[in-house]
Amino acid sequence: MDNKLDAMDNKLINMDNKLINMDNKLINMDKKLINMGTDRNTMDIKLSAMDNKLIAMDNKLIAMDNKLNTMDNKLINMGTELKDQGSKVNDMGAELKGLGSKVNDMSAELKDLGSKVNDLGSKVNDLGSKVDKILEVVMDTS
């Protein structure tokens, strides 16, 4: 019977050792789970920091987009203003063309007047020559 008790004791010791090994494995698994939880918290913190950086970058992009929209609007306004000024320049060109025609007309009139003045000058010279001849004749007869 002692042998049977010893055999049972040995079996109980073996079972006890197996339970201790299982407890150790469970403890190791708990440690791994704790480490995984810590790692997950660390990752969550890093992901949160990355999210904050992405939000900041997104805000900068929105600000840049707003500036670009403002610049686009200014360029559109400048284009409209340049178009208006171009129309004014065209109008002024038409006016200058009209004035040029008037100047050409006046120039032709001045040429005509100049010719008439020259003709009149020639007639005055002729008349002066005749007056000189008449004065010579009058002076000779006196």
Averaged pLDDT score across all residues of the chain: 93
Rounding to the nearest 10 degrees, give the CA dihedral for residues 78, 81, 86, 90: 180
Residue 35 within a domain: yes
Residue 25: per-residue pLDDT = 96
Residue 138 within a domain: no
Residue 126 within a domain: no
Residue 74 within a domain: yes
Residue 95 within a domain: yes
Alpha-carbon distances of 53 from 40, 48, 60, 88, 136, rounded to whole Å: 20, 9, 11, 52, 118
Residue 140 within a domain: no
Its domain, for residue 71, covers 1-114
Residue 127 within a domain: no
Residue 132 within a domain: no
Condensed to tens digits (0 to 9), the pLDDT of residues 107-131 reads 999 999 999 999 999 999 999 899 8
Condensed to tens digits (0 to 9), the pLDDT of residues 16-54 reads 999 999 999 999 999 998 888 888 889 999 999 999 999
Q: Which amino acid belongs to residue 15?
A: M
pTM above 0.85, yes or no: no
Q: Domain tally for the chain? A: 1
